[in-house]
Structure 1
Amino acid sequence: MPLRVIELVTPRKDEEPIRESLKKHHPDEDYIFWVSPLDDEDMLCIRIVLDVQESENVIDMLDNEMSFGEQYRIVVYPAQATLPRLDPEDENGEAEKKGRISREELYSDVLDTSLTTPSYLLLILFSSIVAVIGLMRDNVAVIIGSMVLAPLLGPNVGLALATTLADIKLALRASMTLTTGVIIAFIIALSVGYFFGAPMESQQLLDRCETRYSDIALALASGGAGILAFTMGVPSSVVGVMVALALLPPLASAGLLVGAGQFEEAGGAILLFFTNVICLNLAGVGMFLVQGVKPQRRREKERALTLVLRMGTLWVALLILLSVIIHYAQPAVPNAWPESFLPF
């Protein structure tokens, strides 16, 4: 696993309590730390080099130590290597290691993709145009380009993390960003469909007018895999998930078909889009819980548990409803799973 540097700036009077806490927290092999004076005579800087899996434990410990003070700042950043190497063996602390990046790093990464910024709006605009052109041309390579850009994936991950942490502010920001992106993408596709029609001979377009039970399994599996890769700090692995769990092409297909007056086919594309959104959020919340992502303080943990149960129930209920709609609205799909599902 990669390394992290935790930098703590705090008043000099807190030096000894923090030193004692760091020594008691784990044996010296788990991490190294040193203290440096600052130009300000009243402040000092403590730097800790440690495995990323251990970073959340140490950050929480430091935050608890400093929670009654106001003059402190914790900064976390990556380190490429350190010599001598840190000893990974630790019988006392192995159970505490998270196997993922810290909660604060997750929050920072998710927040960047959950805000409605000019860059995000431009990304939605360009991704929608790419997706519409790919559908109009029946060109799978162009459509994959819009999938890799994946502007709608970030806000959905933000919603899942906000549910897990009971962070209402993040949930509102992610919901607003997601809604804005959906509206823009749909309007662009609808406008193209209205003026130029929908190419009903396009196989890529027709493929997104049908939702099968296998699409639910695919969305749950790829959503869970994406969140797992995200929490381990390997975003390059998420690219494949972006392609498997496509949100923009079904939305663009729905817009094209509505604009062209093909409302029955558009209903299938809308169904596929909402199936992917629901499965991504359900898998996201589940994987965050499996990875041990939770608030730090007890009151927040209790509130988060209540919110997770409520939202989990909602997502499951919506998924069951979608399954019923798939069963009764499209009973004649020749390759529907499980009727003709093949494991290979």
Structure 2
Amino acid sequence: MPLRVIEIVTPRSDKDQVVHSLEEHQTDQGYVYWASPLEDEEALSFRIILDVQESENVMDKLENLFAWTDQYRIVVYPAEATIPRLDQLSKEKDEKSNETKESEDKKQNRISREELYTDILDTTVLSKNYVMLVIFSSLVAIIGLLRDNVAIIIGAMVLAPLLGPNVGLSLATTLGDSKLAKESLKTLTVGITLCFLLALLTGLVLGNTSPTEELMTRSNTTFSDIILAIVSGGAGIISFTLGVPTSLVGVMVALALLPPLTASGLFLGAGMLGEAGGAAMLFTTNIICLNLAGVVTFLLQGIRPLSWGDKERAKAATVRAAVIWTALLAALIGLMIYEKHR
């Protein structure tokens, strides 16, 4: 299990309160801690080393303990290893105290809510680098589709600039975070618009050329595409919550957002309206399934706000989003059935 170090900076006057809280829950969470004075001699730095699955419980307790001002700060960073191991330390403490106490907190087999938020926020911020990534990945997808080269198309899939904002939107819905939702929507809109316009311009310049097999593959949507998008979306969310970015490469390839969007622009620019609509439907299906799977998976992973008021607001936002995404998916399935029998 990965390890985390939680560093807490507090005024020296709060030392006894912090020590009491840490010792009270030390047996439950199985962590070790120590304190160090800072240079100004008016503050202390407490460092806790623990399993990542315990980090959210500990951070929630600390957040409830303090009235957060500039005097307080919590920083979380990874640790490679600790000697002796934490499980050995926990056993030693149990043997000394001769007590067995069942933890009141459910262990989360994932990174903490705050760590997850920071990781996803990095992928949703609209910046010059993000715009450049969208342009480059769109050009890679265009070249791959026009050359009928699967390897080049996979390169565009791996870059996946549209995945992060969609995951951010799902997390924002689950947490009821309107600021993150607005940032994710803004970034996603810019990314979609840039990619589509580049593909459309390319289609207009090249005209109605003979479409490649890879282009035609993305001009229709099947029920297996819906299942693949939902499963891949759920797997992507789990990869984020486990803090395992290497697992996302497979998800990026399986849940391809960029190629169908690029194909739609190329088809439209070439005047192939039917194929453009089919590719747009595949892209829309992937977006809907990703967000629906994201909201559900975040809920199953126990991602919730801390305070009661935030929980109520998040619950309302989650229900509303789930209804909207489900309704859109049902409408798409109905359209697919209609097109099939027409």
Return the TM-score normalized by structure 1. Answer: 0.94
Asked if 1:22 is matched to 2:32, the reply is: no
Q: What is the CA–CA distance in structure 2 between the aligned matches of 1:28 and 1:312, rounded to whole Å?
A: 35
Report the equivalent of 2:185.
175
Q: Is the 8 A contact 1:257 1:266 kept in 2?
A: yes
The CA distance in 2 between the partners of 1:22 and 1:267, in whole Å, is 59
Change (3 A) 1:331 1:6: same
CA distance in 2, matches of 1:314, 1:158: 17
How big is the shift at 1:234? Answer: 0.6
Aligned partner of 2:67 in structure 1 is: 67
Is the contact made by 1:130 and 1:146 (CA closer than 8 Å) also made in structure 2? yes
One-letter amino acid matched to 1:3: L
Deviations 1:253-276 (A, max 9, x none): 000011111111100000000000
Q: CA deviation at 1:230?
A: 1.1
Q: Which whole-Å deviations, capped at 9, do the CAs of 1:227-284 have from their partners, x for residues lacking one?
A: 1111011110011010000000000000001111111110000000000000000000
How far, CA to CA, are the matches of 1:61 and 1:119 in structure 2?
Answer: 37
Q: 3-state DSSP class of the match of 1:144?
A: helix
Q: Deviations over 1:189-245 (max 9, x none)?
A: 001000013544411000100101111100000100111111011110011010000
- Which residue identity lines up with residue 207 of structure 1 in the other structure? T
Q: Does 1:161 align with 2:168?
A: no
Q: Is the 8 A contact 1:54 1:97 kept in 2?
A: yes
Q: What is the identity, as a one-letter code, of the residue corresponding to 1:222?
A: S
Counterparts of 2:279 and 2:157, CA distance in 1: 16
Instruction: Tell me the residue number matched to 2:292.
Output: 282
Give the direction of change, closer, same or farther, for the CA distance of 1:17–1:125 in structure 2 (3 Å limit). Answer: same
Distance between the aligned counterparts of 1:18 and 1:66, measured in 2? 9
Query: Is the 1:3–1:78 contact (alpha carbons within 8 Å) kept by the matching residues of 2?
Result: yes
Superposition TM-score, scaled by structure 2 size: 0.94
Instruction: Please state how far the C-alpha of 1:26 moved relative to its aligned partner.
Output: 3.5
Q: 2 CA distance for matches of 1:73 and 1:178?
A: 32
1:5 aligns with 2:5: yes
Secondary structure of 1:330's aligned partner? helix
Stretches of structure 1 lacking an aligned partner (at least 5 in a row): 333-344
Take 2:75 and 2:185, find their aligned partners in 1: how far apart are those partners?
Answer: 28
Q: How many residues align structurally?
A: 332
How far the C-alpha of 1:91 sits from its partner, in A, is 6.1
Q: Map Cα deviations across residues 116-136 of structure 1 (whole Å, 9 max, x no partner).
A: 111100000000000000010
Q: In structure 2, how many angstroms separate the alpha carbons of the residues matched to 1:53 and 1:40?
A: 33
The whole-number CA distance in structure 1 between the counterparts of 2:167 and 2:80 is: 27
Contact 1:210 1:272 in 2 (8 A): yes
Aligned pairs for 1:1-344 (under 5 A) are 1-27=1-27, 30-67=30-67, 69-87=69-87, 92-93=102-103, 96-197=106-207, 199-331=209-341
Q: Give, in angstroms, the shift of residue 137 of structure 1.
A: 0.5
Task: Give the letter for the 1:243 counterpart.
Answer: V
- CA-to-aligned-CA distance 1:90-118 (integer Å, 9 cap, x gap): 86238621000000111101111101111
Ranges in structure 2 where 5+ consecutive residues have no aligned partner: 92-99
- Shift of the alpha carbon at 1:71? 1.1
Closer/same/farther in 2, CA of residues 20 and 215 from structure 1, 3 Å limit: same
After superposition, the C-alpha distances for 1:158-190 in whole angstroms (9 at most, x for unaligned) are 000000000000000000000000000000000
